[in-house]
Structure 1
Amino acid sequence: MIEIDVHKELLGSMGKMELDVNLTIESKNFVALSGQSGSGKTTLLRILAGLEHARGKIRVDDELWLDGTHCLAPQQRGIGFVFQDYALFPNMSVLENLLFVRKDRELAKQLLDLTELAELSNRKPATLSGGQKQRVSVCRAMMNRPKLLLMDEPLSALDPTMRNKLQHEILTLHKNFGTTTIMVSHDPSEIYRLSSRVVVLSQGKIIQDGDAKSVLLRTQGSQKFSFEGELLDIVKVDVIYIAIIAIGQQIVEVVLDGGEANDLHVGDIVSIGTKAFAPMIQRLKEKS
Structure 2
Amino acid sequence: MIEINIIKPLNTADGEINLAVDKKIEDGEFLTLFGKSGSGKTTLLRIIAGLEVPESGYIKVDNEVWFDSKRGINIPPQRRNVGFVFQDYALFPNMSVEDNLKFALQDKNKFKKVDDILKIMEIQNLSKMKPQHLSGGQKQRVAVARALMREPKILLLDEPLSALDSTMRQKLQDELFFIHQKFGIISLLVSHDIGEIFRLSSRVFKISSGEITHDGSPSEVFANQNISGKFKILGEVLSIKKSDILYIVEVLAHNEIIKVTAIKDEIKELLVGDKILLSSKAFNPILTKI
The aligned runs of 1:20-39 (5 Å cut-off) are 20-39=20-39
Q: Structure 2: which amino acid aligns with 1:189?
A: G
Compute the displacement of 1:12 (Å).
2.9
**Which residue, out of 82, 86, 109, partners 2:85?**
82
In structure 2, the residue corresponding to 1:45 is in which secondary structure? helix
In structure 2, the residue corresponding to 1:52 is in which secondary structure? coil
In structure 2, the residue corresponding to 1:201 is in which secondary structure? strand
Alpha-carbon distance in 2 for matches of 1:213, 1:281: 15
Alpha-carbon distance in 2 for matches of 1:48, 1:234: 47
Q: Structure 1 residues 109, 33: CA separation in 2 closer, same or farther (over 3 Å shift)?
A: same
Q: Structure 1 residues 181, 244: CA separation in 2 closer, same or farther (over 3 Å shift)?
A: closer
* Pairing 1:201–2:202 present: no
In structure 2, the residue corresponding to 1:100 is in which secondary structure? helix
- Which residue does 2:169 correspond to in 1? 163
- Which residue does 2:157 correspond to in 1? 151
The aligned runs of 1:84-103 (5 Å cut-off) are 84-102=87-105, 103=108
Greater Rg over alpha carbons, structure: 1
CA deviation digits over 1:31-72, x for unaligned, max 9?
Answer: 111122221111111111111111210001131111112211
Compute the displacement of 1:265 (Å).
9.9
The aligned runs of 1:1-288 (5 Å cut-off) are 1-54=1-54, 55-68=56-69, 69-102=72-105, 103=108, 104-218=110-224, 220=226
Moved more, 135-144 or 111-120: 111-120
Does the 8 A contact of 2:180 with 2:186 survive in 1? yes
In the comparison of the two structures, how many residue pairs are matched? 279
Does the 8 A contact of 2:270 with 2:289 survive in 1? no
Q: Structure 1 residues 221, 65: CA separation in 2 closer, same or farther (over 3 Å shift)?
A: same
Q: Structure 1 residues 76, 265: CA separation in 2 closer, same or farther (over 3 Å shift)?
A: closer
CA deviation digits over 1:226-276, x for unaligned, max 9?
Answer: 99999x9999x99x69799999xx9x998776xx7xxx7999x99898876
Alpha-carbon distance in 2 for matches of 1:271, 1:121: 42
Alpha-carbon distance in 2 for matches of 1:94, 1:32: 28
TM-score if structure 2 supplies the norm length? 0.79
Alpha-carbon distance in 1 for matches of 2:289, 2:177: 38
Alpha-carbon distance in 2 for matches of 1:31, 1:17: 23
Compute the displacement of 1:110 (Å).
1.4
- Name structure 1 gaps, 5 residues minimum: none
Q: Structure 1 residues 220, 228: CA separation in 2 closer, same or farther (over 3 Å shift)?
A: farther
Q: Structure 1 residues 216, 142: CA separation in 2 closer, same or farther (over 3 Å shift)?
A: same
In structure 1, the residue corresponding to 2:152 is in which secondary structure? coil
CA deviation digits over 1:151-171, x for unaligned, max 9?
Answer: 101111111111122112222
In structure 2, the residue corresponding to 1:84 is in which secondary structure? coil
Does the 8 A contact of 1:149 with 1:182 survive in 2? yes
Q: Structure 2: which amino acid aligns with 1:49?
A: A
Alpha-carbon distance in 2 for matches of 1:86, 1:271: 31
Report the RMSD for the aligned CA atoms in angstroms: 3.6
